[in-house]
A and B are shown apart, each in its own frame.
Chain A
């Protein structure tokens, strides 16, 4: 498994996909953080609650983690590298597990980078305004939950990608599911909505209460396990085109 994980990490370092996602994420986070800082009034800037909210921008990283997970597996089918990959490792489930681990690591790294960029921009901006950054105990707990959310989304991305195989299909399908279907269900019934995968995991990354976070984690893990198992069964059974 060490070998396979090393190979998966090498794969993501040797194309520009991961780098592109990282740059897009950093650009987006910087834009939103600077926008928020520039439009806030001076009194707000110094409030710990306001600053905590500012950091929720970094939860964008979870969406990128999801995208990365999808790209990591569907890229193999799109570019037909699945053939050499499965020739070297005919136990296809091991490839999927290694890919999930690599994507989880990448997702967490995206979260860390997003948080760090937010902190750096905020620190510079605030000190130039004579305000200071208050990183209370909540901040580190929030950050950890956010990273957990990134990890879950990355794993979910690999599972969905393994099931769907088509890159465009998986990305479009996932976005429609998250933005349209889940939003609709959540609007109709919040009680049902919070058991949907996106709503559950988002409870970790957007500032939710401890109850909704614990529930979100459990629900998210259940989805990862179910979809991951489906992905493994289908990948083992299907012919590699």
Chain B
């Protein structure tokens, strides 16, 4: 569906993207994550035919973007937020794009309704807030009712309410079977929205997996201190958890704190300490990207 293969992009001596490869399967909402400057925007611009790769390739629906027939009807994209003429109204901006891609004007009003921008549609974009620009950019991406959406930091500038709205919209688009690749450097925005993540750092691939997997992998797990540590260890291993000993405590991966507590209670094992090292995507991300820092 979306395939990035050995992609590199250099600007002079700076390498923005360095041999990046990953695949996004159809019908998934995938978070494209990395700290600022990781190369996310550059990757997406190459994917969308706006920049030339220095090496490697990036394809959508099996083709390079420039070779797609009627690209606006197949791929929708949100790139930087301020791509509007300040003197043109939001509606006219969309009319221009609809005209160029042969879409009816009725579609313009539909997408304006969809992003809840109808009220401001006839005002000049120069007076729009950042959130309104993001909505207009999303409207432009949705004009051609595309099966693939590529969104670069669409949550930027949205207030908490706007972010919730965006989440619902993205989940809705995903549940319609569309393929969505959405970049962000703020993980909390993405955690409840995406099925899978691709994480990059300093232009290089770090990992790709489901959100749950990343959380589990980076999780510190559960820490237990107990006089009956040996019995508990046997029980936990029998449950399929990995257990190691650390400073006289058990370090448990692959079992929740609740499960450890239940097991201990069921077998009458005294616990002196039970601590779940909570793993948000944020922590997982920080851990993964800092591990990849240059040596």
Contact = CB atoms under 8 A, between A and B. Distances in A.
Given A15-B85, A79-B85, A80-B80, A88 B50 contact: no
Contacts of B158: none
B52 A239 contact: yes
Contacts of B88: 11, 14-15
Given A15-B88, A79-B84, A88-B72, 15 more contacts: A14-B95, A79-B86, A80-B82, A80-B83, A83-B50, A84-B93, A87-B50, A87-B71, A88-B100, A88-B101, A89-B101, A90-B49, A90-B66, A90-B71, A91-B66
Contacts of A97: none
Nearest to B48: A87
Interface in B47-62: 48-52
Nearest to A3: B102
Interface of B: 45, 48-52, 65-66, 68, 71-72, 77, 79-80, 82-89, 92-93, 95-97, 99-102, 140
B72 A87 contact: yes
Contact of B85 (A3, A81, A83, A90): A81
Contacts of B68: 90
A7 B87 contact: no
B92 to A, nearest CB: 4
Interface of A: 3-4, 6-7, 10-11, 14-17, 75, 79-81, 83-91, 237, 239-240
A10 B72 contact: no
Contacts of A85: 100
A6 B103 CA distance: 12
A14 B71 contact: no
B100 A239 contact: no
Nearest to A87: B77
A16 B87 contact: yes
Per DSSP, are chain A's interface residues mostly helix, strand or loop, or mixed?
helix
B64 to A, nearest CB: 9
Contacts of A239: 45, 50-52
A91 to B, nearest CB: 7
A80 B79 CA distance: 10
Contacts of B45: 239-240
Contacts of B92: 10, 14
Nearest to B82: A80
A3 B96 CA distance: 10
Nearest to B76: A87
Nearest to A14: B92
Contacts of B93: 81, 84
A79 to B, nearest CB: 5
Contact of A88 (B51, B66, B71): B71
A10 B96 contact: yes
A190 B45 CA distance: 49
A223 B159 CA distance: 52
A215 to B, nearest CB: 38
A229 to B, nearest CB: 20
30 contacts: A4-B100, A6-B99, A7-B97, A7-B99, A7-B100, A10-B95, A10-B96, A11-B85, A11-B96, A14-B95, A15-B85, A17-B87, A75-B85, A79-B86, A80-B82, A81-B83, A81-B84, A83-B50, A84-B93, A84-B140, A85-B100, A87-B48, A87-B49, A87-B71, A87-B79, A88-B71, A90-B65, A90-B68, A239-B51, A240-B45
Contacts of A15: 85, 87-88
Given A7-B99, A87-B71, A14 B89 contact: yes
Contacts of B99: 3, 6-7, 10
A14 B96 contact: yes
B97 to A, nearest CB: 6
